[in-house]
């Protein structure tokens, strides 16, 4: 395996993990906002 390909693969891998965490946190925040909004509406 070439060193260059290993570097590109690891970068893509970490970017994928980072994007996954951002999406999970984003969805979590949206759910909490919706729950707060729904509770304050009642």
Pick from 12, 8, 32: nearest CA to 20: 12
Model pLDDT, residue 1 = 60
The rounded distance, in Å, linking the Cα atoms of 33 and 1 is 47
Model pLDDT, residue 42 = 61
The structure's pTM equals 0.49
Cα angle: 9, vertex 19, 2; to 5 degrees: 5
What is the separation, in whole angstroms, between the first and last Cα of the chain? Answer: 60
Burial category of 35 from C-beta neighbours within 10 Å (exposed 0-12, middle 13-18, buried 19 and up): exposed
**What would the pLDDT profile of 1-42 be if each residue is shown by its tens digit?**
678 989 999 999 988 888 999 999 999 989 888 878 777 766
Q: What does residue 2 show for φ and ψ, rounded to 5 degrees?
A: -75, 150
């Amino acid at each position: 395996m070439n060193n260059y390909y290993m570097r590109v693969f690891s970068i893509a891998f970490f970017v994928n993990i980072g994007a996954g965490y951002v999406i999970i946190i984003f969805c979590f925040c949206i759910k909490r906002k919706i729950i707060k909004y729904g509770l304050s509406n009642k």
